[in-house]
Amino acid sequence: MGAQFFWLSDRQFARIKPYLPTDTRGVARVDDRRVISGIIHVLKSGCRWPDAPRNQYGPHKTLYNRFVRWSEKGVWGDLFHALSKAGGPPAQVLIDSTAVRAHRCAAGGKGGRKLRPLAGHAADARQKSMR
């Protein structure tokens, strides 16, 4: 089975284009459609940024930097909010948290997984300090 690439359709890109930042200075920004398609590919597939196909979406550093910069500026939140207010079938505007993947180190909380005795066992145990 060949690799599955995500690419925004003309209609999809036309719908989100008005909400994209236009305040760029200096060097012209890399093609928004290509970069956003690459970002969506990474988020949908769960692959690492360096694993995004360079020939399809460009350098992974560009995808990552744009994702982070626009996250800090609130572009993604504004975009989702605007699209959800625009209406349409609920299935197309649903954001499902079950699709969010956590890094393998994210399990267990701060300090990793520690075995702790059950409360009942701890109560029956001999005290470890002297009075």
Q: Residue 2 pLDDT more than 90?
A: no
Report pLDDT for 68: 95
Dihedral sign (CA 84, 88, 90, 95)? negative
State the residue range of the domain holding 56.
Answer: 10-102
Report pLDDT for 125: 66
Report pLDDT for 82: 84
101 band by pLDDT with thresholds 50, 70 and 90: low
Domains: count for the chain? 1
Q: Residue 89 pLDDT more than 70?
A: no
Q: Residue 49 domain-assigned?
A: yes
Q: Residue 15 domain-assigned?
A: yes
- Of 61, 46, 64, the closest CA to residue 4 belongs to 46
Report pLDDT for 34: 94
